[in-house]
Chains A and B, each alone.
Chain A
Amino acid sequence: MIGTINMQQELKQLYRKWPDIRRYLKTLGCDPVSGEDIFQEALLIYVRKRESSDFELTVEPFFYVRNTCKLLWYNQARKEQKQISTELHENIEATEDAWFEKEMKIREVESTLAKLGAQCQELLQLFYGLGWNMVDIAKKIGLRNDKVAKAQKYRCLQKAKELIHEQELVVEPIKA
């Protein structure tokens, strides 16, 4: 929990630099709407990197985020341009193997989780994302006690799994 509070502080610090990054992205030809998306995506990457143990920050967070923004924008711009790069894209996919596959799966699941009820989403996010204990979560989302919250969590998990299975059923024929 302490970690998340620190992270929030850090994010606030970084967000104060948002005007700078917006200006920077503008010089690269990025429109303000997708600019903010890119910035948030870059922050997400930064947060995730910070949490993995083998990540060592060699530059200031601001420069890291700015660079990530630049790369993300280049990626997006390339995608937007034409389908010429599809060949290249596939090559990249091939090289990035397992990590990429897992990344894609996580994204898929994440979008599936968004289909859950609001309470389920909050519960899972608080438990897995922020590492709250069940007592606090129960208080926060208005459940009677931690036992109820725990049961609710299993129900949510079950529901999520069902949703994912459904998705796979739809996806599988394309795969085959």
Chain B
Amino acid sequence: METNWNQLIERYLQNELSEEGKSAFEQELEVNPELREEMEMHQLIRSAAKRASQRTLIQQTGKLYLRNLRIKQLVLGIAGTAIVVAGIVYWINSKNNQTKQMTENASLKSSHENPSESAVRTDHNQQSNQPGGKSSLIQPTDWHETGETNPKYAASAGKHKLHSRDHVYYGLVKNSTDASADTLPAPRPTVAVLGYPKEKQPDGEPESPVNNQIDRNMLWVQKYDSVGKFNDLYCGYALVMDKSKFGFVDPDGKIFIPLIYDQLVVTTNIKSSKQKNKRQKKKVLYIPKRSGKDVKDCNEQIMKVSYEIYPTENSK
């Protein structure tokens, strides 16, 4: 019976009953207190259910709100870190570029200064030779592409009748040992430093023997990609490079150590350096590192001897 009432009440409240049924139900409601109670209960449940649904709706909204908030915060956080990282990367990059540019500028500057200030440079050379440090041995200024033509030089070369000589060698011979091996291209200041003021005046005769020597030197200089200075540290021999192989020549341009080496190592302890580079496939030329007074009293044989005693394994 109760279940029937349930249905009846439900249908009554949903307005699903016919007019007849409705009036009958209302009559029954009036006379039957049990039904009234049931009806009340039913309505209570309905409103309670409604209340519950509202509550869940609010709770859902709250959860949704919180979730959206979290997502927003997460997205903002990610975006923020991305911006910061990008900024740092950009900053580092720009800093690197700056330093690169600075070094490029510096090297450019020095290479520009060199030809015009050879007098200064000779002094500078000797100074830098004194400490005999590794860094001072092979300086960027040691190397001059022979293909590179300095207008000033071309001009002075023209003066000295070095016809169409684009490639000018301006390395210095070690003046203390071999004066005759003067390979100066004879620009004014260098000559003055070397102490041949009269013979090599800027307007001096082009037929001087020095010039012949230069001519001869020019020929062998041209054979190589690059020629270093005749350096005290190499006992007056000059480092030459051709097709990225290293070797040494004497002041006359004769090959002293053949150009078969990929790498040049200047070291105090040749044995240990050799040990270190054992695995490498490169051909390495080891040169004893000399410093201080060693540099001055150059044993002519030091270079040769070290080369003969410790030829690289790969050399023939």
The answer, yes or no, to whether B45 is at the interface (CB within 8 Å) is yes
> 1/0 contact trace for A119-132 toward B, CB 8 Å?
00100111111100
Contact residues on B (Cβ < 8 Å of other chain), bracket = 20 to 34
The residue in A112, A114, A125 that gathers the most chain B C-beta atoms within 10 A of its C-beta is A125
The answer, yes or no, to whether A63 is at the interface (CB within 8 Å) is no
Interface majority SS on A: helix, strand, loop or mixed? helix
Chain B's nearest CB lies how many Å from the CB of A117?
14
A:116-157 near B, CB below 8 Å: 121, 124-130, 154, 157
Residues of B within 8 A of A89 (CB): none
> 1/0 contact trace for A9-22 toward B, CB 8 Å?
00110011010000
The answer, yes or no, to whether B283 is at the interface (CB within 8 Å) is no
Count: A-B pairs, CB below 8 Å: 96
Chain B's nearest CB lies how many Å from the CB of A47?
5
Contacts A15-B62, A125-B49, A129-B49 known; A109 to B44 CB distance under 8 Å? yes
Q: Are A161 and B65 interface neighbours, CB within 8 A?
A: no
Q: Are A43 and B58 interface neighbours, CB within 8 A?
A: yes
Chain B's nearest CB lies how many Å from the CB of A65?
11
Contacts A113-B45, A154-B10, A157-B6 known; A12 to B65 CB distance under 8 Å? yes
Q: Are A105 and B62 interface neighbours, CB within 8 A?
A: no
The residue in A109, A113, A130 that gathers the most chain B C-beta atoms within 10 A of its C-beta is A109
Chain B's nearest CB lies how many Å from the CB of A126?
7
Of B49, B57, B61, the residue contacting A127 (CB under 8 A) is B49
Of B6, B46, B57, the residue contacting A11 (CB under 8 A) is B57
Chain A's nearest CB lies how many Å from the CB of B299?
87
> 1/0 contact trace for A55-87 toward B, CB 8 Å?
000000000000000000000000000000000
> What CA separation (Å) do A140 and B48 show in the bound complex?
21
Chain B's nearest CB lies how many Å from the CB of A62?
15
Q: Are B53 and A125 interface neighbours, CB within 8 A?
A: yes
Q: Are B7 and A126 interface neighbours, CB within 8 A?
A: no
The residue in A18, A107, A157 that gathers the most chain B C-beta atoms within 10 A of its C-beta is A157
Chain B's nearest CB lies how many Å from the CB of A163?
10
Of B45, B56, B61, the residue contacting A12 (CB under 8 A) is B61
The answer, yes or no, to whether B177 is at the interface (CB within 8 Å) is no
Residues of A within 8 A of B55 (CB): 40, 44
Which residue of chain B lies nearest to A7 when distances are taken between CB atoms in the complex? Answer: B57
Q: Are A129 and B61 interface neighbours, CB within 8 A?
A: no
Q: Are B52 and A125 interface neighbours, CB within 8 A?
A: yes
Residues of B within 8 A of A126 (CB): 53
The answer, yes or no, to whether A110 is at the interface (CB within 8 Å) is yes
The answer, yes or no, to whether B161 is at the interface (CB within 8 Å) is no
> What CA separation (Å) do A48 and B58 show in the bound complex?
12
Can you pick out 15 interface pairs between chain A and chain B where the beta carbons lie within 8 Å of each other? A7-B57, A15-B64, A40-B62, A44-B58, A109-B45, A109-B48, A125-B50, A125-B53, A128-B45, A129-B51, A129-B53, A130-B53, A154-B10, A161-B38, A164-B44
* Top 7 A-B residue pairs of the complex, sorted by shortest distance between their CB atoms: A129-B53, A125-B53, A109-B48, A128-B49, A124-B49, A110-B48, A15-B65
